[in-house]
Structure 1
Amino acid sequence: MFVFVLTSLFSVVWALPVRPVSNDQLEIMDNEIDYQLLIYGAATIAIGTVIYLVVKKTSPSSPKAIKQSVILPGDERIHISPLTNINEDGTPDLIEYTYEDARTMYQAMIRGNEQSKNGPCLGWRPAPEEPFQWLTYQEVLDRAYAIGSAMVVKGFSPGQNTYIGIYANNRPEWVIAEHSCIKFNMITVPLYDTLGDDACVHIINQANIPLIFLDTVDKLNKLLKRSDEMSTLKVFVLMVGEVSEEIKGACSSKGIEVLTFEEMLKLGQENKKEEQLPNPDDVFSVCYTSGTTGLPKGVILTHSNLIADIAGVYEYTKDCFSVDPSYSHISYLPLAHMFERAMHGLAYIHGGRVGIFQGNPKLLTDDIQALKPASFPSVPRVLNRIYDKVMGQVNSASWLKKKMFYMALNSKRKALERGEICFDTIWDKLVFKKIQLMLGGQLRMMIAAAAPLSPEKMLFFRSAMGCWVFEGYGQTECTAACTFTYPGDVSFGHVGSVIPCCMIKLVDVPEMEYFASDDKGEVCVKGPILSKGYLKNEEKTKDTFDENGWLHTGDIGEWLPTGQLKIVDRKKHIFKLSQGEYVAPEKIENVYIKSLYVAQAFVFGYSLKSNLVGIVIPDEEELMKYAKSKSLDMTFQELCKHKTIYDKLFEDMVKVAKECNLKGFEQVKKIHVSSELFSVENNLLTPTFKARRKQIENTYKTEIDAMYEQVEP
C-alpha cells in the first residue's frame, strides 16, 4: 500500500509538461510544479498504480546466450563472427558488401537516390532559429558533377593519380567536394587543424595535392604562409563567402589561383566533362592518422574497404532498428575521420538523411532537437558531459524526485538484464522524457566510440534514452570498426565481438606476459576492411601489416568467455625502468582515473630511473565539493596548487592503486597537479582523444624534472 501511495505521489510530481532542453541547461528537473496538473490527480493515482504493477516494453530482445565469436581450427585461434558463413574449403566467407548494386561510394549514392525516390539527402541550418534546409539526392549528385567537371577544366586529370585536399569543418560543401572526387575517380585527402602546420605541409607534399577546398580565409592564409614549401599547390577553393582582391593578389603572387565554391559550380555547369567512375578496388581516400608521435601516416583506403565496413556493422544493427529513407543522422564528429564518413555511408546507401550541425558545439543540442535524428554517434567526452549535467541536477533535486529517478533507473536496469530495450514505458513518459527530448526524442541508436564508457554511464544511457547503445573498436587502418556490440547484447566492459567483414586473432607479447594461449595478446585484424598500407611509406607499412596480411594494432586484447573482445592494454607505450621492469603507462592511468578526484592522469618514467611520476588533472566538480567540506574558499586553479588538495589526491590515488593491485614499481611516487585538461585544442590529445604522450611530456618537462629531483635526486 505504501508503494501504491508513493508511486501515485511521484506521478503527480513528475507528470509535468515536457519541452526541449536548452543548450545551456541540460535540465531534467523543474523547480516549480504546474499546479494546473492537480486537476488530474485522480488520473495520476491510476498511473501510479500502473507504475507499481507493470512496466510496458516495446522493443524486446532476448539476451544473447550464444558465444559471440567462433574459433577457426588451427593453432592461431582466429575468431570470426557467428554470422559469418564458412566456405567448403573451411575458410570464412567474410562479408564484402550488403547490396550488389552498391559496391562503391558512387553506387551507394545512386542507390540512396533510388531508395528515397530523390528524397532529402543533405541538410543544414542557415541560422540558429531556422529549420533544416535540404538538398535532394539528385541535387547533391548534380552539384558534385559540376564541381568535378570544374576541376577537370582547371587541368586536373580524372583518375587515381589526382589527390584533392579538403580542409574544412563539417558542412554540405565538404560532402559535395568529396563526391565530386568520387565521380571522377580522384582521391580525397582530408586535412584538419589539430594535425598542425608542419603536418599539413608534409601531407600536401607527400600526396602532391594541387587543389584544396577550404571553409575559412584563416585556413587559406595559414597555408599561404607556407606555400613556398608546397610546390604542387595550384588552386584554393573557398567553400563559403567571397574572396577579397587582397587575398586574390596574395595568392597570385605565390602562383596560386583562388576561387569560390559558387564560381566552381558555375564553371562546371557550363563545361560538363565525362565522368570517370571508380571500381570497388580503387582508392577512395587517403586518411592521415593524427598519430601520438612523429608525422602523420597516410592510410590508403579503397571504396571496397568502406563498403565492407559499413556492411559488417549493418549486419549487427539491422535486426535492432531499421535504416531506410526515414532514417536521419546528425553529423558533427569530424568528417576528416573514417568513423563519421562510415556513418554517412550507412545513411546514403539506404536513402537516409544527413543533417550537418552548425559548427558550434554550444548549438549542438539545438541542432539535434531540430533534426530529431535516429542515430547519435558520439565519443565519451560528449557523453560524459551529458551524464554529468543530468546527474548533477538529479542529485541536487528534492528527495522525492531523486528517489523516483533511481526507481525508474532500477526498473529499466532490470529490463536490460532481461535483454529488453524500452523507450515508451511509463518510466519513460514520467521520468526520462525530458532527457530523451534533449537529443530529439526519436533516437533509436547511439554509438560510443574512441574510448570505453563506464558501466554506470552505459546503464544510464541505455535506460534513460531507451535506445540501443553500441560500442565498437577499430582503427583507420581497418577503415573504422572491426568489433561491434553483438545484436541484443546489453552487457558492459568490452568492445563487442568481431564483425562479419573481418577476423581477429591475438598474438603473444611475451615481454608484457600476454599469451594467446591464455586468450590475451596483441589484437591483429584481417579481412576486406584492411587498408592497402601507408602512402609512400613502405617501412611503416611493413611494421604494421605483416607478410600474411594481418594488421598489428598495437592494442592488447582479451577474449571474454562469451566471445567478446576486451581491450586491456597498449603495446606501443611500454618502457623499461632502471631495474628492468616493463611499464605500460596507459594501463596505470586507467587505474588512477578510477579515483573520484581524478579526471585525467599521465604516467611517465625514464629508463634510467627506478620510479614513476605523474601529471594529474583533478575532477573539478568533486574537488570543489571536497574543498567546500574543508572550508577552502578558492578557485579551482588555486585549489590545484594547495597542499591539502595534493595530499587528498595522492592519498586517494594510493588507495585506488592498492585496490586494483598495481605493483609497487607501477605506482607513481610523486604527482604534479594541473588545472588544465588535456584536450584536442591544446594539442595534448589526438582528435580521437588519445594522449599525445610526447607533447604532454614536452609540455610538463620542467615539472617532471622537478619531481625527479625530489624522488631520485
Structure 2
Amino acid sequence: MTSQCSVSHLVETDSRYEGLKQKLIGLEQGSDEYIKRLIFECPLSLHPDFKAYLERQGVAIEGTKREGYSAVYRSSLSPNSLITCLDEKLQTLYDHFMFSVRMWPKNECLGKRPYDPATKTWAERYEFQNYEQVAKRIHNIGSGFLSLVNVKRGKRLGSNDFIVAILSHNMEQWVLSDLACQAYGLTNTALYESLGPETSEYIMNLTESPLLIFAKQNMYKVIELLPKLKYMNTLVCMEELDEKELKLLNDSILPIKVNSLGEKISLFSLQQVEDAGRLNEIPISPPKSDDVYTISFTSGTTGIPKGVVTTQRQLTAGVAFVFATSKIPKHKRAAQLRYMCFLPLAHILQRMLTVYSLSRGIGIGFLHKPDPLVMVEDMRLLKADFATLVPRILTRFEAGIKSSLEKSSLQNSVATNFLDAKQHRLLENGGPDKSLLNTYVFHRVLIEKIRDSLGMNNCDFIIMGSAPISPETLIFLRSALDMGMRQGYGMTEAFGGIAVSESYEKDPGTCGPISSSVECRLRSVPEMGYDANDLKGEIQVRGAQVFQAYFKRPDETAKVIDSEGWFSTGDIGSIDSVGRISIIDRVKNFFKLSQGEYIAPEKVESLYSASSPQLTQIFVHGDSLQSYLVGIVGIDVQKTRRHLASNFPEVGHMNDKRFVEAMNKSKDLRKCFLSMINKNTPHLQGFEKLHNIYVDIDPFKVEDDTMTPTLKIKRLNATKHFKSKFSELYEEGSLIKVDKL
C-alpha cells in the first residue's frame, strides 16, 4: 500500500525541500506558527525549482504497469507518498477553522451587503463578522441544534447521532450552520434548490434527518414536503422571523404537528436556535478524522441520486492539496484576503474552496441575492482576491468583452493589436507578463478597464471546474484580464478537485497533474477505442481524498471501487508527456453541460417519448462547452401539423416533405413545437429540456447504422452522423429563452 504523510512531514523528510525546511528552522513542527509559516511558503512547486516542476508535473511510478492499465501516476511533488493533511495537528474542518480563529481572530470571516428596509436598498459595501465572532456563534448554534432536536427524541442532549439537512442558496447562515455541525460532530447533507420534491423527499428520508435548515424563499417548498418526511421534527429558517410569524406558522400553517415517530414538529428561526444554545451550553464534541463530514448526493445520472460519504480525512487531504498548489502573492501574505462564494454550496468544488478559505483566515462574501446576474456588481464591492467560476460564466465574459470592444472601431483596433501581442507572448513563453509594455501601456489603456467592468480589479487568478472550457477562451481571457487561469478536474467522490493546472502555462487546456493526495491510472476501454498503452483510457483514482462508500448503497459502491481500492470515475482521460491530465470522453451514456449538471440522455428521451405522441424518435445531445441540450427528433407529421395549424394556418396545406422543410427553416414553427413538448414533460428539470431541434420523419435508420435491428439508437454512430446538424443548432442558439449569465 502507498505510504501516506502530511505536508509538514514531507517537507521535513524529503531532501528536495531542504530550502523550505530551512525557512522553518526554529519553529516547532505542529505549532500554529510553524503551520502558518508553511502556508505562507507554499506552493510546494516553488521548491526547489518551479521551471523544473513545469517540465515534470506528474510521474509514472516504476513497476506499476499492468495488462490493460497504464502505470500509476502521482504528483511529482510527492512521488513516494500520498498527502493526507497539511499537518498532523489538523485532522478535521473544526481543527482548521479553530486554527484560523487563533491565528487571525480579527480577520473578516463571513460578509454580506447590509439591507436597509426603510429605503429598500442594499448598501454599497460589505460588512463582516470576524473569525472570533463566528467561533462564538457556531458553538451557540450547534448547542441549540442538539438541544431542540434531542428533547423531542427523548435522548441525551449531547447526542450527535443524527444527520442535518440544509436547503438554501449561498448565505452566511449556510456556513454558520455547517461550522456549527463541526463543533458537535454532526454530519450534514446539502440539497440543491433545483432538486425536485421527490428527490428531496428521498434524500431526507434515506438519511432519516430530523433537522432541516432552509432559506426563507424555500418555505412553501418545505411546507409542501413536510407530510412526507418521516423523521423530521425541527425546521429552522435561516432568516429572521418575528414572534407573530413564528406563531402563525407553528399554530396554523404547518400541515402536520407530529412526525411518524410521534415527535412534535416545530419551526424556529436560526436566531432562536442560537438563543437557545446560549441559554443551554452543551460541551463541544468535535469530530475525529474518520468521522463523516458530509453526505453529498450526486445530481442524478440515474433515476435515484447516490449519496457520497465524505469523511473528515478526505476533507483534510483535499485542503492539503489546495494549500500545496496555491500561491498567494508575497505582498498579500499577511493581508486580509477576500473570496466570493459564488457556486452553490451544495456543489462540492464550492464546498472545498470554502473550507480552504476558512482554513486560511480569508473573508468569504456572498451575493446580496441569489441571482448570478448580480455577481459583477457584488464583485466590484467585495474586491475578491481570487474567484471560482464555471465555463458558462467565463464564455459570457469573453462574449461581453468582445462585444464591448466592437462598439468603437478605433478601440477595437487598438485592443485587437494589444491582445494579439499578449496572446502571442503567452503561447511563446508562458508565465505572467512582467514587461514594462504590459505594466505601463496595456494595463493603463485596456486591461484595468476590462477588469473593472467585471469586478476583478483585485483578482490574481480564477479557478474553473465543473465542465471543460475551450483553450481559445482561456487564452483570450488570460490575455484580456492579464490574470492566471487554473482549470481543474474533480468529482463529488473525491471531495472536489484532484487535479489543477498552473496559472500561466503556455499551452493551456489541460487539467494539470494528479493531486499530491491521490494517485491515478488509466484503464483500457477497447470497446470505445481507448488503449492505456497510448495513455488514453478510463481514469481510476485512489488515495486519502477518495471516498470509500455510497450511503446505504453497497451495491453501487461495489460497481465502482475494486478490491484494491481503485475508484473508476467513468471519465476517459489522456496523460501527456509532462504528466498532465486531459478529459476527452465519458465511459457511460451521460455527460455534463457547461454549468456542471449531469444529463442522462436515455432518461430524458424516454420521458419525452412517453409524454408527446407527436414524437416517433428522439435523440438528445449535449456539448460540455454548451449550457443546454439540442436534439434530433422524428415526428408524426399528421399530429404535429394539426397542433401547429391553429397558430400557423399555412402549414395545413403542405405535404409531408414541405412541412418538414418548413419546420427546419422556421424558428417560429420549431419554437411553438418545442414549447408544447417541453410543457408535456413537467418531470424534467430545466437543464434537461431541449432548446433547439432538427426535425425529420425518420431520422434514424438501420441502413445508416444509426439504429440497431431491434430499433435502438446507436449513440456513438448517431452523434457522428448528425455532427454537422448539432453544430448548426448550437450556432443558431436556444429557441426557448435568452441565455442569461
What is the SS of the residue equivalent to 1:75? coil
Written as runs of structure 1 = structure 2, the 5 A alignment for 1:386-465 is 386-398=397-409, 400-417=410-427, 418-422=429-433, 424-437=439-452, 438-465=454-481
Aligned counterparts of 2:356 and 2:663: Cα–Cα separation in 1:
48
CA distance in 2, matches of 1:677, 1:68: 49
Q: Residue 613 of structure 1 contacts residue 707 of structure 1 at CA under 8 Å; is this kept in 2?
A: no
Shift in Å at residue 605 of structure 1? 9.2
Residues in 2 aligned to 1:283 and 1:601: alpha-carbon distance in whole angstroms: 29
1:415–1:676 Cα change, 3 Å: farther
Q: Given the alignment, which residue of 139, 150, 155 partners 1:145? A: 139
Q: 1:115 pairs with 87, 93, 103, which one?
A: 103
Task: Show the counterpart of 1:313.
Answer: 322
Report 1:635-674 matches (<5 A): 646=664
Counterpart position of 1:260 = 269
Contact 2:474–2:509 (CA<8 Å) still a contact in 1?
A: no
Equivalent residues of 1:163, 1:186 under 8 A apart: yes
1:195 aligns to what SS in structure 2? coil
Query: How high is the TM-score relative to the length of structure 1?
Result: 0.73
Name the CA distance, whole Å, in 1 between partners of 2:94 and 2:548.
20
* Aligned 8 A contact 2:589 2:600 in 1: no
Distance 1:535 1:644, change over 3 A: same
Secondary structure of 1:482's partner?
A: strand
Match in the other structure for 2:57: 68
- State the Cα distance separating 1:511 from its structure 2 match: 1.2
Aligned to 1:549: 565
What is the total number of aligned residue pairs between the two structures?
574
Q: Deviations over 1:444-472 (max 9, x none)?
A: 11011111221221012211222211000
Q: Is the 8 A contact 1:316 1:485 kept in 2?
A: no
Q: 1:117 to 1:268 in 2, by over 3 A?
A: closer
- Aligned-partner Cα distance in 1 for 2:663–2:406: 24
- Show the 5 A alignment for 1:462-477: 462-477=478-493
Contact residue 226 and residue 255 of structure 2 kept, 8 A: no
Residues 643 and 425 from structure 1, CA distance in 2 versus in 1: closer, same or farther, beyond 3 angstroms?
Answer: farther
Shift of 1:508: 1.4
The residue aligned with 1:135 is 129
Tell me which residue corresponds to 1:271.
Answer: 280
CA distance in 1, matches of 2:86, 2:677: 42
SS in 2 for 1:474: strand
What is the letter of the counterpart of residue 284 of structure 2? E
Decide whether the 8 Å contact of 2:494 with 2:547 is kept in 1. Answer: yes
1:101 is matched with 89
**Distance change (3 Å), C-alpha of 1:706 and 1:700:** farther
Describe the shift of the 1:676–1:369 C-alpha distance in structure 2 as closer, same or farther (beyond 3 A): farther
Contact 1:378–1:449 (CA<8 Å) still a contact in 2? yes
Higher mean alpha-carbon deviation, 445-454 vs 367-376, is at 445-454
Structure 1 residues 159 and 520: CA distance shift in structure 2, 3 A: farther
**2:626 & 2:495 partners in 1: Cα distance?**
34
Deviation at 1:645, TM superposition (A): 9.5
Map Cα deviations across residues 480-532 of structure 1 (whole Å, 9 max, x no partner): 01111046524223221111111110011121121211111101111110112
Q: What is the distance in 2 between the residues matched to 1:548 and 1:704?
A: 49
The aligned counterpart of 1:234 is: 233
2:522 maps to which of 489, 506, 515: 506
Distance in 2 separating the partners of 1:122 and 1:704? 55
Which amino acid letter does the alignment assign opposite residue 273 of structure 1? I
Distance 2:567 2:343 in 1: 25
Give the match's secondary structure for 2:189: strand
Q: Alpha-carbon deviation of 1:644? A: 8.2
For 2:498, give the aligned amino acid: C
- 513 and 489 in structure 1: CA distance in 2 versus 1, 3 angstrom threshold: same
**Structure-to-structure mapping, 1:516-555, within 5 angstroms:** 516-555=532-571
AA aligned to 1:137 is Y
Query: 1:237 touches 1:258 (CA, 8 Å); kept in 2?
Result: yes
Gaps of 5+ in 1: 1-59, 87-92, 575-585, 591-599, 621-636, 650-669
Q: 1:425 to 1:532 in 2, by over 3 A?
A: farther
Equivalence map 1:589-608=2 (5 Å): none
**Separation of aligned partners in 1, 2:175 and 2:626:** 38
Distance change (3 Å), C-alpha of 1:159 and 1:460: farther
Is 1:294 aligned with 2:303? yes
- CA distance in 1 between counterparts of 2:481 and 2:666 reads 36
Do 1:116 and 1:352's aligned partners in 2 also have CA atoms closer than 8 Å?
A: no
* Structure 1 residue 382 displacement after superposition: 1.0
Separation in 2 of the partners of 1:563 and 1:248? 59
Deviations 1:534-563 (A, max 9, x none): 110111111121111111110111112222
Bigger drift between 435-444 and 473-482 goes to 435-444
Paired amino acid for 2:165? G
Q: 1:381, CA displacement in angstroms?
A: 1.1
Listed as ranges, the matches of 1:362-373 within 5 Å are 362-373=373-384
Letter in 2 for 1:551: F
SS of residue in 2 equivalent to 1:367: helix
Structure 2 CA distance for aligned equivalents of residues 468 and 516 of structure 1: 32
Cα 1:122–1:676 shift into 2, 3 Å:
farther
Give the structure, 1 or 2, with the largest relative contact order (CA under 8 Å, sep 6 or more).
1
TM-score where L is the length of structure 2: 0.70
Which residue is equivalent to 1:176?
Answer: 176
Give me the whole-angstrom Cα distance separating, in 2, the residues matched to 1:323 and 1:308. 23
Aligned 8 A contact 2:524 2:532 in 1:
yes
Flag the 1:174–1:671 CA change in 2: closer, same or farther, 3 A.
Answer: closer
- Quick check: 1:247 aligned with 2:211? no
Which residue type is aligned with residue 193 of structure 1? E
Structure 1 residues 461 and 66, CA gap change in structure 2 (3 angstroms): same
- Code of the residue aligned with 1:470 in structure 2: it is R
Does the 8 Å CA contact 1:61/1:488 hold for their aligned counterparts?
A: no
- SS of the equivalent of 2:511 reads coil
Closer/same/farther in 2, CA of residues 360 and 431 from structure 1, 3 Å limit: same
Shift of 1:292: 2.4
Q: In the alignment, which residue of structure 1 is the partner of 2:344? A: 334
Quick one: which amino acid aligns to residue 343 of structure 2? L
Which residue type is aligned with residue 57 of structure 2? Q
What is the identity, as a one-letter code, of the residue corresponding to 1:428?
H
What is the CA–CA distance in structure 2 between the aligned matches of 1:142 and 1:264, rounded to whole Å?
14
Distance 1:84 1:488, change over 3 A: farther
Corresponding position: 1:350 with 2:350: no
SS in 2 for 1:533: coil
Range with greater deviation from structure 2 (366-375 or 192-201)? 192-201
Residue 380 of structure 1 contacts residue 453 of structure 1 at CA under 8 Å; is this kept in 2?
yes
| Aligned equivalent of 1:53 | none
Give the aligned residue type for 1:203: I
Deviations 1:291-311 (A, max 9, x none): 222111111111121121121
Amino acid at match of 1:542: A
CA contact (8 A) 2:53 2:76 kept: no
Question: Relative to structure 1, is the Cα distance of residues 567 and 462 closer, same or farther in structure 2, using a 3 angstrom cutoff?
Answer: same
Q: Structure 2: where are the runs of 5+ without partners?
A: 1-48, 116-121, 151-156, 259-264, 607-616, 628-646, 649-658, 712-741
Q: Is the 8 A contact 1:80 1:503 kept in 2?
A: yes
Q: Which residue of 2 aligns with 1:661?
A: none
The alpha carbon displacement at 1:258 in A equals 0.4
User: What is the deviation of 1:205?
Assistant: 0.7
Q: Is the 8 A contact 1:166 1:191 kept in 2?
A: yes
